[in-house]
A = this chain, B = another copy of it.
Amino acid sequence: MTLTPPDMICFALYSAAHAMQQAYKPLLDDLGLTYPQYLVLMALWAQDGQTVGEIGRQVQLESNTLTPLLKRLESQGLVNRRRDDRDERQVRIVLTEAGRALQQRAEPITACIVEKTGMSLPDLLALRDQITALRDRLRAGG
């Protein structure tokens, strides 16, 4: 018997992640954000003034992806990028007033997505934990 893509857990993750991005898309379009940009802003709304590396550890991206993304957020007037005075290797990302204000408008998105899944919150959280555990095992074995 020959496996096809729908048989495979890797494809389930792959297609579900894309479907999730598509579910977010109309909501994020209203804010002028892409999905990775939204993840970065979530990290900054929780704690402003993080370095590129700190953000990268949260959203699992490196400077080769984050630097251009952050420059786009800066050109949209949502963040400022400034070298740290103490350690000039690091660049601190600080929300502008407009960047902070966007949090209010983004607030309803989470509930809207939960509703789109049609699942109960406990079921969603349980599934999230299983997926996260799978991810961590894959990383550990890599």
Contact = CB atoms under 8 A, between A and B. Distances in A.
Contacts of A128: 8-9, 12
Contacts of A118: 137, 141
A120 to B, nearest CB: 12
A45 B21 CA distance: 29
Interface stretch (A68-76, A80-88, A91-99, A109-117): A109-117
A5 B43 contact: yes
A135 B15 CA distance: 7
A6 interface: yes
Interface in A1-45: 2-6, 8-24, 35, 39, 42-43, 45
A46 B118 CA distance: 33
B110 A3 contact: yes
